[in-house]
Amino acid sequence: MRTKSLNHSTYKHLYHIVWGTKHRRKWLTDYVKTELITSLHQTVKKYPTLFIMLVNTDQDHVHVQIEIPPSIAVADAVQRLKANSSIHIQKKFKFIREMYLEWDGIWSVGYFSSTVGLNESQVRKYIEWQNKKEKPQTTKLF
């Protein structure tokens, strides 16, 4: 985890943020995921104190590991990421725009947020593991 500095503060604020698609619809395919990641990085370019460490998705939710400075509320950062990506994805993919039939967004209301402390590598592995099928375990009876 990086130590960052602003004019009058030094911080290490790393968050694990998760949000889902509206109605938990499973439209986050590989090609949509690519556009989502592009959109998230474009949003972060507008706010240079934000830094995305990692993004991964399953078919119906998004995981982001992100640095957010103390000068920006977590809720504000998430709202900007969700709003900008919603607009971008709806413009890019007609099938998603038609799926919802209104322009009030493609993401569910709310999000999950947790701070990443000493378990940064564990959280990173969990995010990277998203969208991978669990391998069945074989057990020997005798």
Query: Alpha-carbon distance 128 to 32, whole Å?
Result: 17
pTM: 0.80
CATH number among 3.30.70.1290, 3.40.50.300, 1.10.3720.10, 3.60.21.10, domain 4-124: 3.30.70.1290
Q: Where are the alpha helices (DSSP H) in 2-134?
A: 30-46, 74-92, 94-100, 120-129
Render each residue's pLDDT in the chain as its tens digit; 142 residues. 677 777 888 888 899 999 999 989 999 999 999 999 999 999 999 998 899 999 999 999 999 999 999 999 999 999 999 999 999 999 999 888 888 766 678 999 999 999 887 677 777 788 888 877 655 444 444 4
Query: Alpha-carbon distance 23 to 51, whole Å?
Result: 29
Domain-by-domain residue ranges, the chain? 4-124
Q: Chain-centre distance of CA 61, in angstroms?
A: 8
